[in-house]
Amino acid sequence: MTTFDALRPGKPDSILALMAAFREDPRENKIDLGVGVYKDASGNTPVMRAVKAAERRIVEEQTTKVYTGLAGDPAFGEALSGLVLGGRAPRERLSMVATPGGTGAVRQGMELMRLARPDCTVWLSDPTWPNHPAIVDHVGLKRRSYRYFDADTGAVDFAGMMESLGEVVAGDAVVLHGCCHNPTGANLALDQWRAVAELIAERGAVAFVDIAYQGFGDGLDADAAGLRLLVDRVPEALIAVSCSKNFGIYRERTGLLIALSANAKVTQGALASLNRLNYSFPPDHGARVVQTILGDDALRADWAGELEEVRGSMLGLREQLARELRDRIGSDRFGFLAEHRGMFSLLGATPEQVETMRREHGVYMVGDSRMNIAGLNATTVPRLAEAIVAAGV
């Protein structure tokens, strides 16, 4: 037997399988609610105006493609951390490295936890983004889940969450979604953020915030309000930031890992070493686009305006779907869909009902009934409502 004969196939990715099934479906009226990308009313994922303008400027003005530093261009970190934190954390306590996307930031953050506390437990919401537990397992850390979602109400089970987190001990990491919780769409209120922050600080744990959708929920500042409140109260935090969604630069793999600690110089050195070991110098094009936009008042205003249009579109689709369902079933049982924020919601359908909607109506969503609201438009919303009712959800 040769060396690579010992390899075993990886666990199939349900979303990739769903994408393949959707592509192979010949029906013209099929609806893709699985893939986590924003689509406009025409089903396209456009390049934002400010991104195009920034790229033109970069092409005209850039004079070299030499490496940036191991942590990426410091100006990128300063600009993006300012957008996320709003100046709430003392700069002397922050360390930052550019990463290949938000996923890269999560991975580097977990690697840092393994270096600092190899025996720690990482606490994840139930449910959470599937890559969270996969990354925790891959780096060799222990993990536990905390209660988060109440399927009956479609809201956060905050009492259950706090009860679960009552078992957190010093050195553990508690992973929180900064806004637009994936997959549920149900978010913490500010007073709940405050209570969680106090618990984490009291227990001596590390707050690990994954913020991938800032601007998709209630607005740029409102979506970061809980995170900013948190960093005011905890001594240590890790923040994984993604630019894929709110700047629409998915394929550029642009992210940032921010660490809040007492000794930022030591933490910065550890983060730079992790970058060196994993990919040396981080990609720069997307980071330079973001840096250019945030550093120019006109580009920033245009970007923020277009982002607000995107946010408004998703809120409108949520309200339309909740209304269509209310009209069909005569109750507000699905009213939580209008209350959720971001791209995703958990519908509350069984795997069998999800399969019925796919087979009989061409509606594709993940088996746990997570659906991407941004995959809808005004025409497909009534068809989805019909499919939901017909499947007996």
Domain that holds residue 257: 67-295
- Domain assignment of residue 138, yes or no: yes
pLDDT at 370: 95
Positions annotated as catalytic residues are 129, 210, 212, 245
pLDDT at 285: 98
pLDDT at 17: 85
* Cα distance between residue 156 and residue 54, in whole Å: 39
- Domain assignment of residue 274, yes or no: yes
One digit per residue, the tens of pLDDT, for the chain of length 393 reads 789 998 988 777 778 888 889 999 999 999 999 988 998 888 899 999 999 999 999 999 999 999 999 999 999 999 999 999 999 999 999 999 999 999 999 999 999 999 999 999 999 999 999 999 999 999 999 999 999 999 999 999 999 999 999 999 999 999 999 999 999 999 999 999 999 999 999 999 999 999 999 999 999 999 999 999 999 999 999 999 999 999 999 999 999 999 999 999 999 999 999 999 999 999 999 999 999 999 999 999 999 999 999 999 999 999 999 999 999 999 999 999 999 999 999 999 999 999 999 999 999 999 999 999 999 999 999 999 999 999 999
From 295, 325, 350, the end of a domain falls on: 295
pLDDT at 173: 98
Same domain, 164 and 268: yes
pLDDT at 147: 98
- The number of folded domains in the chain is 2
Q: Write down the pTM of the prediction.
A: 0.96
Same domain, 93 and 223: yes
Same domain, 291 and 309: no
* Cα distance between residue 307 and residue 272, in whole Å: 32
- Domain assignment of residue 55, yes or no: no
Residue 185's domain is classified under what CATH number? 3.40.640.10
